[in-house]
Amino acid sequence: MSILDIIKKKRDGGKLTHEEIAFFVAGATKGTIPDYQLSALLMAIYLNGMDIEETSILTLEMAESGDMLDFSDIGTVLDKHSTGGVGDKTTIVVGPILAALGVRTAKMSGRGLGHTGGTVDKLESIPGFRSDLSEEEFKEVVRTVGFSDIGQTKNLAPADKVLYALRDVTGTVENYSLIASSIMSKKLAAGADGIVLDVKCGSGAFMKDYPSAEKLAKVMVDIGNNAGRKTSAFITDMNEPLGRFVGNCLEIIECVEALKGRGEERFIKLVYAIAGEMLNLTGKKDDGMIEKVINDGSALMKFREFIRAHGGDDSFIDDYNRLGKIVIKEEVKFNRAGYLSRCDTEKVGLACMKLGGGREKLSDTIDHSVGIEIKKKLGDFVETDETAFIIYGNDEAKVSEAEELLKGAYEISDTPTPKPDVILGRIIL
């Protein structure tokens, strides 16, 4: 088989066979096809697309390019995935809730990059917390606690690592088949029986508008179900940050507050929806059980168990001062009165990154303690000089940079603006 023939076939709009897709994925994994030919093929796929059959084959081949985790000796295990947003800490609350309800979640999460945060970074703000458990340790925590979340292991879908790095530098990231196969290959390799996807949509998300988010969600749901994993998806709003805080330590504290029954309204609505759908995948119904395990403290107890099983110190749950130190607290105020009509959510995420709370490139180190408090929500009426954001930082110059970004984050209108719902749509089985 010749890679040149495969490139030409896709360039001319042809449909690739299973053998052809397997050939190029194996070549990418083993390094036997040079980057320039892989890049040319990626561009041909980007321009001419792949149908759902090609996309499903590509996903399976990428998943099988490395380790495939197997939880069959433990029982049913679920996973959830968010396509990335600002202030999205849903997993950290959903996992303990489900564990308290006897439903196991095994998740491998990414790190934050650019304006989006990463669950692994958030969890690593907990003193001692290890997100680099071995596969055996990971399985043991899933078995005994019911919830574990670790960084992606080295040999998880290695073909995706090669192809994603090339896409990043060849302008071929934004293609439905390539995004969906990249995300779903890692989900399939991570071994869960059922997956709930949270496809973010809006000014802080990869997908800026509803039709694009819906299309991506449908492709991923099809891939998951074609691969024999029960998969459903929500399309959720990312036109403003989720919850009250953006920043690693601050979001962990917000999760503890949510597990203590004091979560922000939109955030909690999303937590209930995702946890409820995960229960559905196991054939159970919510019936008030989610609220019960929050109110009786058993979900918070599971969170403590999870932290301890990962080597972390859970004492901050009783004294938030034990989590990160902040030297600068700066308020950003509204310069006019009116209704908050639009938020440039990406700017809020970038402001957190500038403070040191995120990365421009994956090798950057981050300051877990910094972040931003969101004082108002879209649709709120605000007065001149009312506080829009509180910046928590450790470096004057970085705080000034964040302040500049945040000053331009909101648009204010004289006419009332409706509050956007957090759940915009769902693709269910």
Shortest CB 105 distance to ligand URA, Å: 19
What is the residue type of 270? L
Q: In the range 145-204, which residues lie near ligand URA by CB under 6 A? A: 164, 173, 178-179, 182-183
Residue 183 vs 378, nearer CB to ligand URA? 183
Catalytic residue among 10, 104, 107, 186: 186
CB atoms within 10 A of CB 315: 12
207 binds ligand URA (CB under 6 A): no
Q: Strand locations in 132-184, DSSP E?
A: 147-151
Q: Is 182 a catalytic residue?
A: yes
Of 122, 67, 82, the residue nearest 369 (C-alpha): 122
The rounded distance, in Å, linking the Cα atoms of 152 and 110 is 6
The rounded distance, in Å, linking the Cα atoms of 125 and 356 is 13
Residue 183 vs 249, nearer CB to ligand URA? 183
Catalytic residue among 10, 81, 104, 347: 81
How many amino acids of this chain bind ligand URA (CB under 6 A)?
6
* Structure tokens, 374: 């969101």
Helical pair 158-170 and 52-63, crossing angle rounded to 10 deg? 120
Shortest CB 81 distance to ligand URA, Å: 9
Residue 97 vs 183, nearer CB to ligand URA? 183
> Which one-letter DSSP state was computed for residue 316?
G
Shortest CB 35 distance to ligand URA, Å: 17
Residue 176 vs 389, nearer CB to ligand URA? 176
Q: Is 148 a catalytic residue?
A: no
Q: How many CA atoms lie within 13 A of 11 on its CB side?
A: 11
What is the residue type of 184? M
The rounded distance, in Å, linking the Cα atoms of 232 and 212 is 17
Shortest CB 174 distance to ligand URA, Å: 9
Catalytic residue among 182, 185, 203, 232: 182
Residue 164 vs 339, nearer CB to ligand URA? 164
Residue 412: enclosing H or E segment and its boundaries? strand 410-413
Residue 155 vs 413, nearer CB to ligand URA? 155
Shortest CB 20 distance to ligand URA, Å: 21
What is the residue type of 290? I
Residue 58 vs 422, nearer CB to ligand URA? 58
Q: Is 368 a catalytic residue?
A: no
The burial class, CB within 10 Å (0-12 / 13-18 / 19+), for 9 is: middle
Catalytic residue among 107, 139, 161, 167: 167
Shortest CB 160 distance to ligand URA, Å: 7
Of 424, 429, 354, the residue nearest 395 (C-alpha): 354
Q: Is 130 a catalytic residue?
A: no
Residue 360 phi/psi, 5-degree rounding, is -85, -35
Cα dist from 50 to 38, 179, 181, 329, whole Å:
16, 12, 11, 50
Shortest CB 382 distance to ligand URA, Å: 34
Given a contact cutoff of 8 angstroms between Cβ atoms, the answer to whether 156 and 286 are in contact is no
Given a contact cutoff of 8 angstroms between Cβ atoms, the answer to whether 252 and 123 are in contact is yes
Q: List residues binding ligand URA (CB under 6 A).
A: 164, 173, 178-179, 182-183
Residues noted as catalytic: 81, 160, 167, 182, 186
